[in-house]
Copies of this chain bind each other. A is one copy, B any other.
Amino acid sequence: VTAPLITLLSDFGLKDPYVAEMKAVILTICQNARIIDISHMIEEFNVRMGAFVLASATPYFPEGAIHVAVVDPGVGTKRRALLVQTNRAFYIGPDNGVLMLAAKKNQIRHVFTLSNPEFMLPRMSATFHGRDVFAPAAAYLASGVNPNKFGPEIKDYVVPSFAHPELRAKGLVGEVLHIDNFGNVITNVSIDDLKKTGIKAGERLVIGHKNQFYSANLFTAYGNAEPGSLLALIGSHGFLEIAVNQGNASRKLRMKTGDALITRAV
């Protein structure tokens, strides 16, 4: 039998003891758990960014993995805590949408609330459910506790709203989903959306942002453009990405997460 696999995502950063406390709680309850960090550098309170990073990473994990995501501005309030069972994996975290972009990529079977105090730390804080509720739930689940023991099933969970691009007269109107470590601008324009604009691989396209317009080739790799010059490509998650070869597109175009942008053929 394989050791259970638990992943962690949060906006806790890496300076404080918080991430280690979650791992400590997991290993106290389930000593053979393997723990993998997805990211703890989600922007503070940025549920959408957490949802995006979680949904990008989790499809690559083995079946049966337990994914814990804690971007949780409502901790200690009435927001519910969830255990989501899909046909591939489990997702544990607050009921604010952070889990659902990832969970919906699979078929959701059941969504349970985490309300059974038997599977929480005995001395529970109102400020750190990552340690006191979500980590123990993951560890008990990894130890073989049946998902339906954690609390009642619900249907009215929160789903995050990610806009789909719209094809208008001026072009395809999309949104910046994420700026990565390299300054690559990852948009919500999928490869199928792009096809509607008639732009084909190798062709030039126009990107509009705040009344500035830039032209770029739709390449397949960063290195197809000259170093320092702008390009567009379909990134590793299947979305249109704007990049500068060996440079920083976000800084060059002053684009940030949430910004609207227009894409059209030249």
Chain A residues at the B interface, C-beta cutoff of 8 Å = 2, 5, 7, 11-18, 20-21, 23-25, 27-28, 31-32, 34-42, 44-45, 53-54, 56-58, 60-62, 73-77, 79, 125-128, 131-132, 178, 180-182, 220-224, 227, 233, 235-236, 241, 245-246
List the B side residues contacting A246 at CB < 8 Å.
Answer: 44-45, 73
List the B side residues contacting A2 at CB < 8 Å.
Answer: 31-32
Copies of this chain, count? 3
Complex CA–CA separation, A73 to B28 (angstroms): 33
Contact A44 B126 (CB under 8 A): no
Chain A interface, DSSP helix/strand/loop, else mixed: loop
Complex CA–CA separation, A246 to B96 (angstroms): 14
List the B side residues contacting A227 at CB < 8 Å.
Answer: 73
Q: How far is the CB of A139 from chain B (nearest CB, A)?
A: 12
Contact B40 A14 (CB under 8 A): yes
Complex CA–CA separation, A127 to B131 (angstroms): 36
List the B side residues contacting A128 at CB < 8 Å.
Answer: 235-236
Contact B41 A15 (CB under 8 A): yes
Query: With contacts A15-B180, A17-B38, A28-B60 known, what are 8 further pairs, Cβ within 8 A?
Result: A15-B53, A15-B181, A21-B56, A21-B60, A24-B58, A44-B181, A60-B131, A76-B224
CB-CB nearest in chain B for A5: B27
Q: A53-B16, A181-B13, A181-B15 are in contact. Are A222 and B60 (CB under 8 A)?
A: no
